Chains A and B, each alone.
Chain A
Amino acid sequence: MVNLARASRRRDIREDLVPRPEGGRQVGPAYSSRLIEFVSGRWRPEIAARRAESLRRAIACLKRLTRAA
């Protein structure tokens, strides 16, 4: 994810998600809040699942679990 952000043309995305080398961390300063924003606002898991087999299985698994509960 960080590498995707690194290639972004938008400076705000790069600055929020990509860690500064001097900081010694794996993610940037506003990484989790950006992801929360993305996941809750824009992300469409069903469409993403068409391209990601593991996500498709995870969703199917969760659906089974909720049916069982």
Chain B
Amino acid sequence: MNERNGTLRFSSVGLRNWKNFATCEVVMANRVFLVGPNASGKSNLLDVFRFLRDLASPGGGFKEAVRRRGGVSAIRCLAAKRYPNIELRVVVDPAEGSPSWEYELGFNQDPQRRARIIKERVVRGDRTLLERPNDDDAQDPDRLTQTHLEQVNVNRSFRELASFFESIRYLHIVPQLVREPDRSVGRPNDPFGGDFLEQIAKTQERTRIARLNRIREALRVAVPQLNEIELWRDDRGTPHLRGKYEHWRPQGAWQTEEQFSDGTLRLMGLLWVAMESGGPLLLEEPELSLHSEIVRFLPQMFARVQRRTGRQIILSTHSPDLLRDEGIGLDEVLLLRPGREGTEVNPASSFQDIRDLLQGGMTLAEAVIPKTRPERAEQLTLFADS
């Protein structure tokens, strides 16, 4: 329980000129479903949190975070006009009682196209802990290439916030990378699952066995033939996951992750991170390669996990099966709709017609998905004809 009470979470995000978003201000629930057409900015909205993580992580920092995204001009919204600065502002709430944090960062580039901080602010409750640019910045403008968030010697009064940003975890498991980890060697916390097996191997044995057992229990629904799961090292010491399948042979047969289906591997990855406690979890289309009957239960699984860990979950989805769940609150669904002035983000609860359709007995999926349908999608069928 202590773990849960200590958990921080994002309660709102404000953006200016960040990628698809010219201006946007969104309230974040503890579980967030981002829904929108392709290229509407679902991943770019998740990227705000990854950016904050990059700022605060070892090996990261402001300069590096901007570089990884291709420079200031690649981040700036194409719809940005007179006001060229990129700004983000997040409010972070502790679970109960204590005052909330607010972090604000504005930046741009100098004539040599180097990223420059225009402002940085940290507020806790009604106390401003940091306000930049300050006198030191005026004397030494080079200071404006680093945030105070990334510097241990100056972030003492708001280190809790920095550690929170660092604890953000992004996951978009690519089964091919789990099977062939060689391709992503040297990337700890690889969001694409390249070090998934390594992470399982690093986990303390008791915890690992307990978790794998729970995964097996949960997988029983999806893969009933799977009897046992364990970590196994080959002759070279490389870790593998292997599962024992019930079979026409009386002893069953062991298979390693190389033979697991894409769906089984992704589901294992999801279940594994779901059991970890920690900062906000960002998931990119968790429904991929999964059967619709499994996808239907993902929201419930996340809800129950959250009750235990208090961990915030922010995910993007295209799946009507996932949105069919009756327990998804309208304030948990954020609709992204591209327009000429950049993408607009609104909670499903702000649409009267969605509320009416639900009252009339439609599912959330039926009410929401039509709003995110790309215009003229039927044109795709003409693709090969011209």
User: Which A residues contact B (CB, under 8 angstroms)?
Assistant: 12, 15-16, 19-20, 22-33
Contacts and interface: CB of A to CB of B under 8 A. Distances in A.
A32 B300 contact: yes
Contacts of A28: 327
A20 B326 contact: no
B355 interface: yes
B270 to A, nearest CB: 16
A28 B30 CA distance: 14
Interface in B301-329: 301, 303-304, 307, 325-329
Interface string B341-372: 00000000100000100100000000000000
B330 A27 contact: no
A24 B31 contact: no
B263 interface: no
Q: Kindly state the interface size class of chain B when it binds its partner.
A: 20 to 34
A24 B303 contact: no
Contacts of B355: 24
A33 B305 CA distance: 12
Contacts of B254: none
25 contacts: A12-B307, A16-B303, A16-B307, A20-B329, A22-B329, A22-B331, A23-B329, A23-B330, A23-B331, A23-B332, A24-B330, A24-B349, A24-B358, A25-B327, A25-B358, A26-B326, A29-B303, A29-B329, A30-B300, A30-B304, A30-B307, A32-B300, A32-B325, A32-B326, A32-B327
Contacts of B300: 29-30, 32-33
A27 B331 contact: no
A30 B332 contact: no
A67 to B, nearest CB: 30
Given A15-B307, A22-B349, 7 more contacts: A23-B329, A24-B329, A25-B358, A29-B327, A29-B329, A30-B303, A30-B327
B330 A19 contact: no
Contacts of B29: 22
Contacts of B325: 32
Contact of A24 (B299, B307, B331): B331
B328 A29 contact: yes
A32 B332 CA distance: 18
Interface string B28-59: 01010000000000000000000000000000
A32 B355 CA distance: 21
B250 to A, nearest CB: 29
Given A29-B299, A33-B300, A19 B307 contact: no
B297 interface: yes
The 4 A-B pairs of least Cβ separation, nearest first, read A23-B329, A29-B303, A29-B327, A33-B300
Contacts of B330: 23-25
Contacts of A25: 326-330, 358
Given A15-B307, A16-B304, A32-B300, A27 B329 contact: no
Contacts of A15: 307
Pick the most buried of B297, B300, B307: most chain A CB atoms within 10 A of its CB. Answer: B300
B349 to A, nearest CB: 6
B326 to A, nearest CB: 5
A22 B30 CA distance: 12
Interface in B273-314: 297, 299-301, 303-304, 307
Contact of B297 (A20, A22, A33): A33
A4 B358 CA distance: 23
A19 B349 CA distance: 14
Nearest to A26: B326
Contacts of A19: 327, 329
A15 B327 CA distance: 11
Contacts of A27: 326-327
Contact of A31 (B307, B326, B332): B326
A20 B329 CA distance: 8
